[in-house]
Structure 1
Amino acid sequence: MHPRVIASVLGAVVAATGAAMLIPAAFSYLISDGHWLSFALPAVAALLAGGMVFALSRGRPSAYVSIRDVFLMVVLGWISVAAAGSLPFYASGLMSPVEAFFNAMAGFTTTGVSTTEELSPSLLLWRSMSQWFGGIGIVVLFVAVAPLVGFGAAQLYSAEAATPLAERLTPRIRDTAKVLTYIYVSLTVVLAAALLAAGMGPFDAANHALTTVATGGYSTRQGSIAAFDSIAVELVLVAGMIFSGTNFALYFQVVRGRFREALTNAEYLAYLTLILSATAIMTVSLYAFDYQQSPLTALRLALFQSASLTTGTGFSTADWDSWDPLSQALLMVLMGIGGCAGSTSGGLKVVRALLLTKNAFQDAFRMVHPRAVTALKLGRRVVPERLRASLMGFFFVYVATLVAGTLLMALHQVPLGAAFGSAFACLNITGTAPGAPGDPTFYAELPATAKLMLSLLMLLGRLELFTVLVILTPAFWRG
């Protein structure tokens, strides 16, 4: 391993986190909400500590960095950012160190779960910023500092963007990071402008644009989007969530003029079909069993929640915990599947669900025709057998991790439904689930060890399991 290289990267990301804190510090000072020192002091500390570690460990560039170094950089990078990002919450006096870390991890992983909604405007802004930075991923920062520490950024990108059938948008990884950043920033600016036009105030529009593009779901209001009671706002957010849950590579294809290729993408079509089908079924179910005032009201509720929970955003316009069982079950399925690979969404990802479904049908076909040779395809692309095997391995690890998380929460004497719901919400980085896990007070009352365990599940969900789990294996530390 190369400790100096790892230390220099961690120093850089901690310093960058400190620099980001200066924005809410200035905002707090301007509006006099009493928390500017809660940001200013941690910002200075993070800048000094991170800058010092970076300067002392930079040294001579290394010609080679092992894959073990890469995994450690990514995992420790996220933990370091969450630790540094938790300092304003702790310095505000509102949270204990573990609770502050839990909330920061929920922000940077875009899970969106919270232990309290009673925060000052500057702390609300910091929450939204943490989700926005977490959405694009620390990969962009890693790519920016890679030339300074002397190793190729392609390795970091592969570990960070651990998605199936990954495609590089440009020949150079740094150019790919630039493309992703331009797309991300553009979506944020357009969405903020649209929310302003829909009637939101500047502060609300800025915060909701940040958390929508990140599919994080933090809101400035305790009632989430229901507090605005605006069809225009809801429609803008539905569009924003659907766009943000789409593979960003498709936007690059559109910019390059490859409209047909983007619009006929197999995962994208399955993604839209999933949202629309769930909306249609829930509309009928809500109107029939929940006795909504009209089919249009049922459609309005169903469309928003389908988009919100498919993308893992977690915004709400109603207490869907009180909906009929069929609608709740559909929303849970949507949370588990998630959005597209290459987006900021959580869950299994639509491409994996699609390939798992195709593989199941193929297995059934082979039982009838045992000598048949069938290729697993996604659109016109043949999926290699190696990828098929890794897909099955991922699904097994996903289920095993969910089971382990549920058992560990039950070990803390959390009722079974809430134990499963909280583990499910954190692993899929949706931040909400039916029952107690949909209420911030549930997480606030958990013991410190349970909060740390759920923080680990958030990290596992954000980095898609294997990037984190690999460093826990004995083979990783041998030789």
Structure 2
Amino acid sequence: MIHFKAIGKIMGALLMLLGLLMLPGVGFSLYYESGDEISLIAAAIVSGLIGAILFFSFSKQDQNIRKREGYMIVSVSWFLMSIFGMLPYLISGTIPNVADALFETVSGLTTTGASILTDIEVIPKGILFWRSMTQWIGGLGIIVLTVAIFPLLGIGGIELFVAESPGPTSDKLHPRIRETAKRLWYIYVGLTFAAGLLYFLGGMDFYDAVNHALTTMATGGFSTKNSSMAYYDGPFIQYTAILFMFLAGTNFTVIYFSLTGKFDRVFRSDEFKAYATTIILLGIGLSIPIYFISGLEYEKAFRDTLFQVVSLITTTGFVSADYTRYHIGITLIFFMLLFMGGSAGSTAGGIKFVRHLAFFKNSWLEFKRIVHPRAVVPLKINGDRVTGKIITHIMNFLLIYLMIFVMGSIVLTIMGYDILTSFGAVATCLGNVGPGIGKVGPVDNFSFFSPTAKVFLSFIMLLGRLELYTILILFTPYFWRTN
């Protein structure tokens, strides 16, 4: 039996927290006199009030959350955050259309970075800060943050952490889930502060530095400038962005081990080695043809190439150059990067490197199994044996991911969009990247899609952010059976 009252209590806590997180934008609104402070306050009051009603109506519910409730809470909470998160846009009139406001909010919370805004720089400062804040909230997951404070609410949260953590990883920073969540957020907040400081020292004003720090560490890609990071064409800011995008796409347990001096654990990570090696090889390898095609100085060609490789692999989606203008072959390679994803346990979306690693290692070992059918040839990652159950789970995930990409692309083509744009839109939304190919390339946006298509793509973004199963399991009869 599903404990709906316990779920209602947690939904209330999340909405109150969401309301509080709307308020920092009021300070920027007042400072810049952008006139949107009332909208933010009104949205915060509505979210907080409804959250308080839910929370205190079910305040006596103290059941520990089981896995079934955990998956439902994560799915429903992201839906509710998307609904209430678009209130500042609607109340202020910045984005008056519901489908547009929903798309922008879901894109923020899922750290996708796709946008329907055609002129970002005219958006009021407070609302624009809330837009960046939605990505920072979604970066590591508001659920993980709430897990850290659940003891104050009398609620257990291990199932929530399992359902929300971005990727298949068994590493734990601390045996207690509350301490794990707290350490993840210490790292997240610390790196966000460091990125903002370096952006500021590199020449951004305080407001832009804060916004870009929030969206960089969230691997979100929302910018305060219409031309994204191409606006800041200097090496210092762009290399800073590359560094922190790389860190944000790294498994946070690897970052924790490096900060605590456990470098043997860092270099033992097969995923981290594959992640770093792939970025280095692609950055150097693609910069050579781009150098000859573009006619730029090599440093600029290398920087643009490395920036876009890191931006797409980590699913950040910042833009420093239009990667579709070089050559169709190079465009195809960048399109394929939409299916990579960062490391498991990072803020990045996408398939994740550990799944690719397991797939390719297992496929390679299959040749050996064919030649030696009686031999026991185990798959190992980080020196540990990967069980058959995990391999099956990864293979199923990759198959379902591919099926959703194909079916989603077919749906958009039926709606009347060309196949290249359909491929690009579904791939980038499912991978939570931002830019794609076709009419949704790095210098384009999603404003031309119909309201129906925007709602559909919003659902695709949520599927990708919550690792497919978290939402899809709700549509299966097994989830609702009581025995």
Q: TM-score range by the shorter chain?
A: over 0.9
CA distance in 2, matches of 1:69, 1:440: 41
113-122 or 3-12, larger mean C-alpha shift = 113-122
Check if 1:353 corresponds to 2:356.
yes
Does the 8 A contact of 1:114 with 1:440 survive in 2?
no
Check if 1:315 corresponds to 2:318.
yes
2:332 is matched with 329
1:76 is matched with 76
Does the 8 A contact of 1:460 with 1:468 survive in 2?
yes
State the TM-score, normalizing by the size of structure 2.
Answer: 0.95
2:26 is matched with 25
Does the 8 A contact of 2:166 with 2:346 survive in 1?
no
Note the C-alpha offset of 1:239: 0.6
Partner SS, residue 320 of structure 1: coil
Note the C-alpha offset of 1:441: 6.5
Check if 1:186 corresponds to 2:190.
yes
329-338 or 179-188, larger mean C-alpha shift = 329-338
2:41 is matched with 40
Tell me: CA distance 1:189–1:148, structure 2 relative to 1, closer, same or farther (3 Å). closer
Check if 1:377 corresponds to 2:384.
no
Does the 8 A contact of 1:78 with 1:138 survive in 2?
no
Check if 1:285 corresponds to 2:285.
no
Percent identity (aligned): 36
Query: Which consecutive residues of structure 2, in runs of 5 or more, have no partner in the other structure?
Result: none
Note the C-alpha offset of 1:257: 2.4
Tell me: CA distance 1:291–1:189, structure 2 relative to 1, closer, same or farther (3 Å). closer
Residues 95-244 of structure 1 mapped to structure 2, 5 A cutoff: 95=95, 96-116=97-117, 117-118=119-120, 119-148=123-152, 150-161=154-165, 163-244=167-248
Structure 2 counterpart of 1:266, which letter?
Answer: D
2:271 is matched with 267
Check if 1:407 corresponds to 2:433.
no
CA distance in 2, matches of 1:11, 1:309: 35
Structure 1 counterpart of 2:246, which letter?
Answer: I
Q: Deviations along 1:238-297, whole A, 9 cap, x unmatched?
A: 111111110000122123321122134111111011101111121112123x24233222
Structure 2 counterpart of 1:224, which letter?
Answer: S
CA distance in 1, matches of 2:478, 2:130: 39
1:86 is matched with 86
CA distance in 2, matches of 1:434, 1:60: 49
Note the C-alpha offset of 1:407: 1.5
CA distance in 2, matches of 1:369, 1:217: 48
Does the 8 A contact of 1:9 with 1:145 survive in 2?
no
Check if 1:438 corresponds to 2:441.
yes
Note the C-alpha offset of 1:145: 4.7
Partner SS, residue 280 of structure 2: helix
Note the C-alpha offset of 1:420: 1.2
Q: Deviations along 1:92-114, whole A, 9 cap, x unmatched?
A: 21321121111101001100111
Note the C-alpha offset of 1:442: 5.1
2:58 is matched with 57
State the TM-score, normalizing by the size of structure 1.
Answer: 0.96
Does the 8 A contact of 1:131 with 1:211 survive in 2?
yes
Structure 1 counterpart of 2:396, which letter?
Answer: G
CA distance in 2, matches of 1:321, 1:440: 9
Tell me: CA distance 1:327–1:299, structure 2 relative to 1, closer, same or farther (3 Å). same
Count of aligned pairs: 477
Does the 8 A contact of 2:71 with 2:470 survive in 1?
yes
Residues 447-466 of structure 1 mapped to structure 2, 5 A cutoff: 447-466=450-469
Note the C-alpha offset of 1:315: 0.8
Query: Which consecutive residues of structure 1, in runs of 5 or more, have no partner in the other structure?
Result: none
1:390 is matched with 393
Does the 8 A contact of 2:379 with 2:385 survive in 1?
yes
CA distance in 1, matches of 2:443, 2:51: 32
Q: Deviations along 1:62-95, whole A, 9 cap, x unmatched?
A: 2x43322111100011111111110011112132
1:476 is matched with 479
162-171 or 380-389, larger mean C-alpha shift = 162-171
Tell me: CA distance 1:374–1:236, structure 2 relative to 1, closer, same or farther (3 Å). same
